[in-house]
Structure 1
Amino acid sequence: MFNVLRSEDQQRGANRTVRFEGEKLGGPVSFFIVDAEPGQGSMLHVHPYSETWIVRKGEAEFTVGGETTRGYPGDVVVAAADIPHRFENVGDGRLELICVHPNGRILQQNL
C-alpha cells in the first residue's frame, strides 16, 4: 500500500518552501524543500536528531556549532543532533535545498 501527496496539494510557505511531515502519510521521514532568494535562510535552531541537507541548486553557507562550510549543487551536509545550526543562501541566484529530518514529525527548537 502507498500514499501520495500530489504537488498541487503541497502547502508552500511565503518563500515557496514546502514542509512535509511523513507521519501524516504513515512515513518515518520528514523534510523541507527550500526555494530561497539570496540572503534568505533558516534561523539558528536545534533538533533531537541529525539533519541532512542536500544542495540541488545555488550556494549555501551552513553553520553547525561554531563551524561554517559552503555547499554547492550535489553536496550533502549533515548536522549532528542537538547542535545549533542554520543555513543561508550566499549565492547570486536561488537556492534549492532539501532538508531531511529522520522523524515522522519535524521537531525543531528555534534559538
Structure 2
Amino acid sequence: MAHVIDRDKWARMPDRWQGELECGAWGSNSCLIFNYLPGTGGGPRLHRHPYAEIFIVRQGSGLFTVGDREIEAFAGQIVIVPPNTAHKFTNLGPGPLETIDIHENGSFVTEWLE
C-alpha cells in the first residue's frame, strides 16, 4: 500500500524543507532528515549509527567528518557514511546548506560521541 505523508507530519517550519520522519511507521526501512542550515557553522555533533546514512547535498557546501576523513561536499554530490562510522557535518557557507539525509533504518538509532 502506498502512503502519502503531509508536510505537517514532518516539517518543523511550514515554509522550509526542515524536519525529520521515521518511515518505519509506514512500512519503510528508512528515516529521513531534511536539513536547512541558513548560515555558516551549525550541524550535528559527532555521532554514529549501526546502519549506513546517505547525505544528498541539495544546496550549498558542507564539511563532513567521516571517520578520520574530512570531505568538502557541494550541491549535487552524495556522501555515504558506512555503519558504525563516527560522523558530523557543518555548513561551510557563505549561503545556506540544505541536505536530505537517509537513514537505512525504520527508526533513528544514534550514539552521540560529543
Aligned pair 1:95/2:60, yes or no? no
Q: Which amino acid aligns with 1:64?
A: V
Aligned equivalent of 1:80, options 82, 105, 108: 82
Task: Select between 30-39 and 56-65 the one with higher mean Cα deviation.
Answer: 30-39
User: What does residue 21 of structure 1 align with?
Assistant: 22
TM-score, normalising length from structure 2? 0.89
- 8 A Cα contact 1:16 1:36, kept in partner: no
TM-score, normalising length from structure 1? 0.91
- Sequence identity, in percent? 32
Aligned pair 1:52/2:61, yes or no? no
Q: Which amino acid aligns with 2:26?
A: L
Aligned equivalent of 2:64, options 50, 62, 65: 62
Does the residue aligned with 1:12 lie in a helix, a strand or coil?
coil
Unaligned residue ranges in structure 2 (runs of 5+): none
Report the CA distance between 1:83 and its aligned residue: 1.2
Q: How many residues align?
A: 110
Report the CA distance between 1:16 and its aligned residue: 6.8
User: What does residue 4 of structure 2 align with?
Assistant: 4
- 8 A Cα contact 1:64 1:83, kept in partner: yes
Aligned equivalent of 1:42, options 33, 41, 44: 44
After the TM superposition, list the runs of 4 or more consecutive aligned residues in structure 1 that deviate by more than 6 angstroms.
none
Q: Which amino acid aligns with 1:9?
A: K
CA distance in 2, matches of 1:93, 1:36: 9
Report the CA distance between 1:11 and its aligned residue: 3.8
Change (3 A) 1:43 1:16: farther
Q: Which amino acid aligns with 2:91?
A: N
CA distance in 2, matches of 1:6, 1:109: 29
